[in-house]
Every structure is written in C-alpha cells, then in structure tokens.
C-alpha cells in the first residue's frame, strides 16, 4: 500500500519561533517554528492543526499549501509546509504585464497576447499529451513549433507576403535546427537523464517516455521565441528597404538587410546564452564549488546539455537571418526601372556609406 498524500490550502493562525539549531555539516543555523493553522479546503476544511516547520518561515495570516500525509502502515498523519501561496503575487504581475502590453502595444499587443495564449494551449494540450502518450518528442516538437510559428505569425502580423516569408524561413530553420540537434545529441551520447526531474519523470511514466527525444524537443521549443523575433524583423527590414527604394536591386537589398541581421545576431546570441546561464546559475555555482575540474564539469551531461542548447539555438538564429532575408528578397522585391544616372548616384552613396560603417 502507498501513503495517501493530499495538498490543500491553509491559513496560519499563530507562530511560535524556536531557537535555531545548527545544521550538521553546515556553518548555518536552521530556522524552526511551531505553526498553528486552519485548513481552508478539502475533507478537513475548518479544522485546526499544529506542526513543526523548518522549511519556508511563515507568519500569522499567511496562506500556504499544506501537505497532509497519511502513512499506509499505521494511518498516522503528518503535516508539513509544501509551499507558500505564491498565486496572488503571480496574478498581480501577470495583470501588470497584460495591462502594459495592451496600453503600450495597442492592437498588436492584444494580438501578441492571443498568440501567447495559443502557444500555451498547443504546448499543454498537444505537445505534453503527445509526449506522455509515447509519440516521438522530436517530431511532435517540430510539428508544434511549426503550428506556433504559423498561428502566432498570422494572428499577430496578418495574412500578407511579408509574414509568409518569415513563416517559411522559420519553419525551414526549425527543420534544419532539428536535424542538427538530432546529430548533436546522438554524437554526444546524451541520455536525457541529466537532471533529477528527468529521472523522476521517467519513473512516473514507467519508462514510456523517450527522454532523449524530450531533450531534443526542449531544444526546439526553447529556440522559438528568439527565432520569431529575428525572422519577423528581417522580413520587415526587406519590405521597408524596398518600399523606400523600389528601384534598388535585389542584391543590394539583401546586402543591406543582412547588415541589420548581423547586428541583431550579435545581440540575440548573447541574450540566448545569458538566459540559459541565468536559469542554470544555482547549478553552476554548485559544481564550481572546490574541488573542481573544469573539463570534467563541462563534460557532465547536465552541463553539456545546456551548452548544446545554447549552441544549437545560436546556430538556428544565425541561419534564420540569411534564410528569411533571401526568401523575403525573392518574394517581396520587384525592382522598378529608373534612369541609369539616378541609379549610379544612389549606388555610389551606398558604397560611400559602407566604407564609413
């Protein structure tokens, strides 16, 4: 038989703080308190209980999630703090985010929010269930990524040639990146079990989930946000340059758009890498604690997997720039004829600009 575990909301009625005791093996003291709380939901709603808490320290009036464990062998009941109730603060900042997007972004902001909601729906109701049912994570990830790209792009930017160029370029980049990710994780002999969460997930699913494929799927999904930014920016850059100078040739438009793309790459690759490092900072500090072998640390799957995420994601961003730019130039640029003297003067001005930048 298994223990029965229930998690319910509770409210702190009173707290008695104990004298902190030193944790064995550490130079710090562990805070401890006796909490009296009222259960707010479930079969025991309205009941009051008292228990020791050495986890997140609470104060009177706080709401939190209470873990109630009933042992199978003797039906004894144990109470402990699962987590403080963070939902109100999450709701407040989510509301601030939505209001700012609507007030500053206007209609485009609203479309962006609809796109964001649609992306979450696809991830939660297509990607996650598909993986849990044993389908190939990499194929599902590429399919869901493509759907997110298509739906998100057209909802946010409308049905037009510029958006279509960006969509086609993004899908092509996702496919190429998926192939590279597949090669990388197999050549590097990754297992997908680099974290405790992956191990627990595999145990809960009784081994029916392809953990290596899940790693690949995570790489693909993680690329989408920044890839979307690059692709739309490049397509619009081509459109605007052609709109301003419709008589300029495709080669020049491509060259000028690529210059914008290069600047974008420099900023976004750094952003992508720093974002991954920031998310893994506690882990990085853990393995940087002496004694440390740098090469051995980098070789660990838990770190090597993050490095592969950064490298594959960055490769995808770099490839997206010429792919989207080339597609946009082919589709959007229809050169208008002007007299040769005007064309020569403008090309000369462009060359002069290039030498100074």
Q: Are residues 21 and 116 in the same domain?
A: no
Q: Are residues 79 and 96 in the same domain?
A: no
Nearest CA to 308 among 210, 153, 222, 184? 184
What is the four-CA torsion angle of 52, 53, 58, 60, rounded to 10 degrees? -10
Q: Are residues 142 and 238 in the same domain?
A: yes
Range of the domain at 311: 91-334
The answer to whether the pTM exceeds 0.75 is no
Mean residue pLDDT of the chain comes to: 82
Nearest CA to 192 among 173, 219, 174? 219
- Tell me how far the alpha carbon of residue 63 is from its chain's centroid: 29
Q: Into how many domains does the chain fold?
A: 2
pLDDT tier for residue 310 given thresholds of 50, 70 and 90? confident
Task: Give the angle subtended at the CA of 162 by the CAs of 157 and 167, to the nearest 5°.
Answer: 75
Q: Are residues 288 and 235 in the same domain?
A: yes
Instruction: Tell the burial category of 111 from Cβ atoms under 10 Å away from its Cβ (0-12, 13-18, 19+).
Output: middle
Q: Are residues 280 and 217 in the same domain?
A: yes
Q: Are residues 184 and 309 in the same domain?
A: yes
Provide the CATH number for the domain around residue 66: 2.40.50
3-class state of residue 36 by DSSP: strand
Q: Give the integer Cα–Cα distance in Å for 234 and 260.
A: 8
Inside any domain, residue 355: no
Inside any domain, residue 339: no
Inside any domain, residue 98: yes
Inside any domain, residue 349: no
Inside any domain, residue 129: yes
Q: What beta strand segments (E) does the chain contain?
A: 4-17, 21-22, 29-30, 33-39, 48-53, 63-70, 77-84
Q: Between 1 and 99, whose confidence is greater? A: 99
Distances in whole angstroms, Cα of residue 350 to Cα of each of 194, 234, 240, 256, 328:
52, 20, 16, 9, 21
Inside any domain, residue 134: yes
User: pLDDT tens across 253-298, in order?
Assistant: 999 899 888 887 877 777 767 766 666 666 666 666 666 666 777 7
**Domain end residue (candidates: 20, 53, 85):** 85
Inside any domain, residue 342: no
Query: What is the percentage of the chain residues whose pLDDT exceeds 90?
Result: 21
Inside any domain, residue 352: no
**Domain end residue (candidates: 34, 57, 85):** 85
Q: Give the integer Cα–Cα distance in Å for 86 and 56.
A: 12
């Amino acid at each position: 038989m298994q223990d029965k575990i229930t998690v319910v909301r509770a409210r702190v009625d009173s707290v008695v703080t104990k004298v902190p005791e030193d944790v064995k093996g550490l130079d710090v003291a562990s805070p401890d308190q006796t909490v009296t709380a009222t259960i707010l939901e479930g079969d025991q709603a309205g009941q009051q209980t008292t228990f020791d808490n050495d986890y997140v320290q609470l104060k009177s009036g706080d709401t939190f999630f209470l873990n109630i464990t009933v042992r199978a062998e003797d039906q004894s009941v144990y109470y402990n703090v699962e987590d403080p109730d963070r939902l109100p603060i999450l709701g407040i900042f989510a509301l601030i985010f939505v209001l700012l997007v609507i007030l500053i972004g206007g209609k485009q902001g609203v479309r962006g929010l609809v796109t964001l909601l649609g992306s979450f729906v696809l991830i939660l109701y297509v990607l996650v269930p598909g993986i849990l049912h044993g389908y190939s994570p990499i194929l599902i990830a590429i399919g869901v990524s493509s759907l997110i790209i298509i739906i998100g792009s057209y909802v946010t930017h409308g049905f037009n040639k510029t958006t279509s160029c960006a969509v086609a370029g993004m899908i092509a980049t996702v496919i190429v990146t998926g192939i590279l990710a597949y090669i990388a994780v197999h050549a590097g002999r990754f297992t997908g079990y680099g974290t405790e969460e992956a191990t627990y997930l595999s145990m809960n699913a009784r081994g029916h989930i392809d953990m290596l494929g899940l790693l690949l799927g995570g790489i693909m999904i993680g690329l989408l946000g920044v890839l979307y930014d690059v692709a739309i920016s490049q397509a619009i850059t081509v459109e605007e340059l052609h709109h301003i100078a419709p008589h300029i040739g495709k080669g020049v438009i491509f060259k000028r758009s690529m210059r914008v793309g290069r600047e974008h790459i420099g900023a976004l690759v750094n952003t992508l890498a720093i974002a991954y490092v920031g998310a893994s900072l506690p882990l990085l500090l853990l393995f940087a604690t002496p004694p440390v072998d740098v090469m051995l640390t980098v070789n660990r799957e838990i770190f090597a997997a993050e490095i592969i995420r950064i490298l594959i994601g960055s490769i995808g961003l770099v490839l997206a720039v010429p792919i989207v730019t080339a597609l946009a130039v082919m589709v959007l640029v229809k050169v208008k004829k002007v007299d040769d003297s005007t064309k020569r003067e403008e090309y000369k001005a462009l060359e002069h600009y290039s030498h100074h930048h």
